[in-house]
């Protein structure tokens, strides 16, 4: 929890158009998150913070996480995914990342747009 997350890269499968990649990015994330920033021209989107930590049957407002996804390169041949997470301590929000959430979102996008290796 003491550093921002690292980017995970997905090599986009051959023949996918930018519109298709964008649709998959938006559809994939909007199923689990509210989307806060969407910029189709640059291929960037960011979810709003989601409070997911359960304490005694209730969602705690002390933990929050969000996802950032961006398409890179002229033809968006790579999509990068990163998670950010915060824990509220006495001194304010501690920055970090949620590796389980990142793997979940990365795996979902990889399965939808990722290049198949032979």
**Confidence (pLDDT) at 118:** 55
The pTM (predicted TM-score) of the whole model is 0.86
What is the rounded CA–CA span in Å between residue 79 and residue 106? 10
Q: Please, which residues have CB within 8 angstroms of residue 13's CB and are 6 or more apart in sequence?
A: 113, 114, 115, 116
Query: For 89, phi and psi rounded to 5 degrees?
Result: -115, 180
**Confidence (pLDDT) at 15:** 92
Average pLDDT, the chain: 89
CATH assignment, 8-113: 3.30.530.50
More confident residue, 4 or 58: 58
Residue 28 DSSP class: H
């Amino acid at each position: 929890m003491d550093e921002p997350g690292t980017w995970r890269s997905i090599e986009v499968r051959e023949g996918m158009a930018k519109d298709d990649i964008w649709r998959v990015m938006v559809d994939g994330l909007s199923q689990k998150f509210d989307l806060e920033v969407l910029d189709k021209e640059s291929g960037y989107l960011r979810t709003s913070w989601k409070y997911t930590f359960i304490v005694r049957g209730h969602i705690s407002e002390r933990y929050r996480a969000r996802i950032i996804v961006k398409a890179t390169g002229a033809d968006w041949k790579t999509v990068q995914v990163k998670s950010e997470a915060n824990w509220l301590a006495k001194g304010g929000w501690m920055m970090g990342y949620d590796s389980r959430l990142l793997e979940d979102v990365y795996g979902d996008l990889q399965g939808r747009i990722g290049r198949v290796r032979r």
